[in-house]
């Protein structure tokens, strides 16, 4: 086992050395520009914070992730990589970078399992979970801990955690471009409004911080659903806590670059959403605004999606081909927030050229959402296998 | 991003209404002494975005009408609509669809609130 690991480590290290610096350089440049736009207070040296990085065969990306944490303006007390029985030397790369590596006796079967394994070793008041393929803007942790410049996370006991703004690190393929527009749209319009009403639908699993005592009280990350981040967020609401969205804290995950990875991710996300609705329906109903956000989400994911796939084509055939315009009728609603954010980030051309991919992505999303509704709600056939896809 | 089709359906209307309702909520907070300056700044930003979206939608509607219903363009659109009779019904149905979306939203909100009321009622029993 060890000789096999060391061979793989050699290969993986080579990959890690070849790819990450370019990405990090880009992120650092962006973040410096963002920091100039939003000046922060003098950085502190420690945060009372432990970073947990669940990792399974992430040799290509783990070095970049650790490096981006090392370059933070607010340093965590400890970085723990949970090497979930990787076979590509992920743990060895992490260890060589001086972070603590934990390795369970067997693969935990899910991200939640790996995170809970790591949670046992956390001794700081705050725990930050970050995906192994996610890099951070240099001031992301500082901004997240400040929770929207008010210090809420450290001063308000009712706030259990906070999440940040997500932007795909690479925007090249059609799927990455579609996701890029989705994120620019959702994190500029939907999520800030949800935050204003104190009910973000989900604290994104790729970059979120929590109070450690609350995490332990709630039993850590739930593994009964495939959307452990949404499940945990709704657990927090059920226990009377709040979650904050901090748009200034930016992270850059690797998004699916091909359809195979996208398929796994969308299957997990869409099935996980319905699993959370089934598990938490009472919590959802009793939580102000969350019940409306989820009810509207359910309607759009079923009825609106069916109309999208069935009603519009029928109208095109039976009344007028002009109904094809229905597929793009919301273009201004998408374009305005996307271009505002893209302008702030200096990415107008990238955003404009990615708009068509968003419409392709929307069709693909619709297929997976309907399929998930059929399997999870109608057939009651719960998906249990956690398929890794970025 | 998994719940529904972003931008389409009733979600767009829902978040638009939530954004428009924010000043009222913040006003109530102000009366209770819980309002913050950052909240008003945020509300102004969101209203600016929503305003730009509404202007964009109006411009799009105007452009499409000019494109498909104006006389000079009829000769071009005749390729797909030889009689010129299908365009107007399409725009009428589009208007009806927007109305249907708002009615659906009202229905979804009522159902959610009704279920919550029912849950409270059964819990009290």
Q: Per-residue pLDDT tens for A227-236?
A: 999 999 999 9
pLDDT range class, residue A158, cuts 50, 70, 90: confident
Q: What is the per-residue pLDDT for B79?
A: 61
Q: Which single residue is written with the structure tokens 């939907």?
A: A190
Query: Which of A167, A186, A189, A303 best tests the B interface by mutation, with the highest count of B CBs <10 A?
Result: A189
How do residues A277-333 score in pLDDT, each as one tens digit?
Answer: 999 999 999 999 999 999 999 999 999 899 889 998 998 898 888 888 888 888 999
Contact predicate B69/B91, CB 8 Å:
yes
Q: What's the gap between Cα A318 and its chain centre?
A: 42
Percent of chain A residues topping a pLDDT of 90:
75
Nearest-CA distance B10 → chain A (Å) = 6
Q: Which single residue is written with the structure tokens 């009344």?
A: A319
Identify which of A185, A299, A332 has the shortest CB distance to residue B56. Answer: A332
Distance CA A261, CA A184 (A): 21
Q: What is the per-residue pLDDT for A6?
A: 34
Give the predicted TM-score (pTM) of the model.
0.87
Contact predicate A247/A166, CB 8 Å:
no
Delimit the domains of chain A by residue range: 24-255
Distance CA A86, CA A106 (A): 10
* Least confidently predicted of A17-21, A136-140, A191-195: A17-21
pLDDT range class, residue A369, cuts 50, 70, 90: very high
Mean pLDDT over A367-371 rounds to 94
Q: What is the per-residue pLDDT for B125?
A: 64
* A166 DSSP β-pair partners: A251
B89 touching chain A per CB within 8 A? yes
How do residues B41-53 score in pLDDT, each as one tens digit?
Answer: 999 999 999 999 9
Does the pLDDT at position B57 exceed 60?
A: yes
Q: Average pLDDT over chain A, rounded to whole?
A: 87
B80 touching chain A per CB within 8 A? yes
The closest of B15, B23, B99, B62 to A334, measured between CA atoms, is: B15
Distance CA A71, CA A128 (A): 16
* Least confidently predicted of A24-33, A109-118, A381-390: A24-33
Q: What is the CATH number of domain A24-255?
A: 3.90.550.10
**Which range among A159-173, A305-319, A374-388 has the greatest average pLDDT?**
A159-173
Q: How many CB atoms lie within 10 A of CB A151?
A: 11
Q: What is the per-residue pLDDT for A41?
A: 42
Contact predicate A24/A135, CB 8 Å:
yes
Q: What is the per-residue pLDDT for A196?
A: 95
Question: Which tokens in the block code for residue A376?
Answer: 């999870």
- More reliable by pLDDT, A163 or B85: A163
Question: Which tokens in the block code for residue A324?
Answer: 């094809």
Question: Using a CB-CB distance cutoff of 8 angstroms, which residues of chain A are in contact with residue B119?
Answer: 282, 285-286
pLDDT range class, residue A2, cuts 50, 70, 90: very low
B24 phi and psi angles, rounded to 5 deg: -65, -45
Nearest-CA distance B56 → chain A (Å) = 5
Identify which of B6, B42, B116 has the shortest CB distance to residue A285. Answer: B116
The three-state DSSP-derived secondary structure of A111-128 is: HHHHHHHHHCCCCCCEEE
Distance CA A298, CA B43 (A): 27
pLDDT range class, residue A389, cuts 50, 70, 90: low
* CA A46 to each of CA A78, A85, A130, A142, A152: distance values in angstroms, whole numbers, following the listed order: 10, 30, 18, 10, 18
Burial A322-355 (b: 16+ CB within 10 A, else e): bbebbbebbbbbbbbbbbbbbeebebeeebeebb
Q: What is the per-residue pLDDT for A324?
A: 86
* Least confidently predicted of A15-19, A31-35, A147-151, A161-165: A15-19
* Least confidently predicted of A21-25, A134-138, A181-185, B107-111: A21-25
**CB spacing of B56 vs A189 below 8 angstroms:** no
- Mapped onto helix, strand or coil, the DSSP state of residue A108 is coil
**Total residue count of chain B as it appears in this document:** 125
Q: At what angle do helices B37-69 and B11-31 cross, to 10 degrees?
A: 150
Q: What is the per-residue pLDDT for B100?
A: 86
pLDDT range class, residue A1, cuts 50, 70, 90: very low
Mean pLDDT over A175-179 rounds to 96
- By DSSP bridging, strand A159-166 and strand A126-130 are unpaired
DSSP H helical segments within A123-250, as ranges?
140-146, 152-155, 174-185, 191-196, 212-217, 228-238
Contact predicate A285/A291, CB 8 Å:
yes
Question: Which tokens in the block code for residue A374?
Answer: 């059929």
Q: What is the per-residue pLDDT for A11?
A: 32
CB contacts under 8 A, B 27-46 vs A, are: 38-39, 42-43, 46
Mean pLDDT over A54-78 rounds to 96
- By DSSP bridging, strand A134-136 and strand A242-253 are antiparallel
Report which DSSP code applies to A327: G
Nearest-CA distance A192 → chain B (Å) = 9
Q: Average pLDDT over chain B, rounded to whole?
A: 83
pLDDT range class, residue B77, cuts 50, 70, 90: low
Mean pLDDT over A187-216 rounds to 95
Contact predicate A182/A165, CB 8 Å:
no
- More reliable by pLDDT, A331 or A45: A331
Q: What is the per-residue pLDDT for A31?
A: 47
- More reliable by pLDDT, B94 or A185: A185
- More reliable by pLDDT, A192 or B66: A192
**CB spacing of B4 vs A299 below 8 angstroms:** yes
A-chain residue closest to B109, CA distance: A292
**CB spacing of B5 vs A366 below 8 angstroms:** yes
Query: Which H/E stretch holds residue A165?
Result: strand A159-166
- More reliable by pLDDT, B92 or A18: B92
Q: What is the per-residue pLDDT for A373?
A: 94
Distance CA A55, CA A103 (A): 10
Q: What is the per-residue pLDDT for A155?
A: 59
Q: Mind giving me the DSSP string for B23-84?
A: HHHHHHHHHTT---HHHHHHHHHHHHHHHHHHHHHHHHHHHHHHHHHSHHHHHHHTTT-TTS
């Amino acid at each position: 086992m060890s000789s096999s690991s060391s061979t793989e480590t050699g290969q993986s290290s080579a990959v890690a050395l070849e790819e990450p610096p370019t990405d990090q350089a880009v992120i650092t440049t962006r973040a410096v520009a963002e920091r100039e736009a939003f000046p922060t207070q003098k950085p502190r040296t420690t945060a009372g914070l432990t970073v947990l990085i669940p990792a399974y065969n992430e040799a290509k990306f783990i070095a970049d992730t650790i490096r981006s944490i090392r370059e933070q303006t607010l340093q965590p007390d400890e970085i723990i990589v949970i090497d979930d029985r990787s076979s590509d030397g992920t743990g060895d790369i992490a260890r060589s970078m001086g972070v603590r590596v934990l390795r369970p006796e067997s693969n935990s079967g899910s991200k939640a399992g790996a995170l809970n394994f790591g949670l046992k070793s956390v001794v700081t008041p705050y725990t930050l979970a970050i995906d192994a393929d996610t890099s951070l803007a240099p001031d992301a942790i500082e901004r997240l801990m400040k929770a929207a410049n008010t210090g809420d996370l450290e001063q308000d006991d009712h706030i259990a955690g906070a999440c940040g703004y997500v932007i795909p690190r690479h925007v090249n393929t059609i799927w990455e471009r579609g996701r890029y527009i989705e994120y620019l749209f959702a994190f500029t319009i939907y999520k800030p409004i949800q935050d204003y009403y104190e009910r973000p639908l989900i604290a994104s699993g790729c970059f979120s911080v929590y109070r450690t005592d609350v995490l332990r009280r709630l039993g850590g990350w739930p593994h009964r659903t495939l959307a452990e981040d949404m499940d945990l967020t709704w657990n927090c609401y059920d226990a009377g806590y709040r979650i904050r969205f901090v748009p200034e804290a930016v992270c850059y995950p690797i998004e699916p670059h091909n359809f195979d990875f996208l398929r796994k991710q969308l299957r997990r996300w869409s099935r996980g959403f319905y699993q959370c609705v089934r598990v938490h329906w009472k919590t959802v109903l009793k939580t102000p605004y969350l019940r409306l956000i989820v009810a509207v989400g359910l309607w759009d994911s079923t009825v609106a999606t069916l109309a999208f796939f069935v009603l519009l084509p029928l109208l095109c055939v039976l009344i007028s081909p002009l109904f094809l315009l229905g597929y793009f009728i919301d273009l201004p609603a998408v374009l305005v927030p996307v271009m505002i954010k893209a302008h702030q980030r200096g990415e107008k051309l990238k955003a404009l050229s990615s708009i068509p991919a968003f419409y392709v992505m929307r069709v693909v999303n619709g297929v997976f959402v309907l399929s998930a509704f059929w399997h999870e709600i109608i057939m009651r056939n719960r998906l249990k296998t956690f398929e890794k896809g970025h | 991003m998994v719940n529904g089709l972003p931008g389409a359906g009733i979600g767009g209307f829902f978040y638009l209404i939530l954004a428009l309702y924010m000043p009222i909520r913040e006003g109530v907070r102000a009366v209770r002494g819980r309002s913050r300056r950052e909240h008003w700044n945020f509300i102004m930003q969101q209203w600016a975005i929503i305003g730009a979206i509404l202007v964009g939608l109006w411009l799009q509607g105007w452009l499409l009408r000019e494109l498909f219903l104006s006389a000079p363009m009829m000769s071009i659109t005749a390729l797909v609509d030889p009689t010129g009779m299908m365009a107007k019904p399409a725009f009428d149905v589009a208007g009806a669809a927007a109305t249907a979306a708002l009615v659906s939203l009202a229905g979804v909100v009522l159902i959610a609130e009704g279920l919550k009321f029912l849950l409270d009622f059964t819990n009290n029993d």
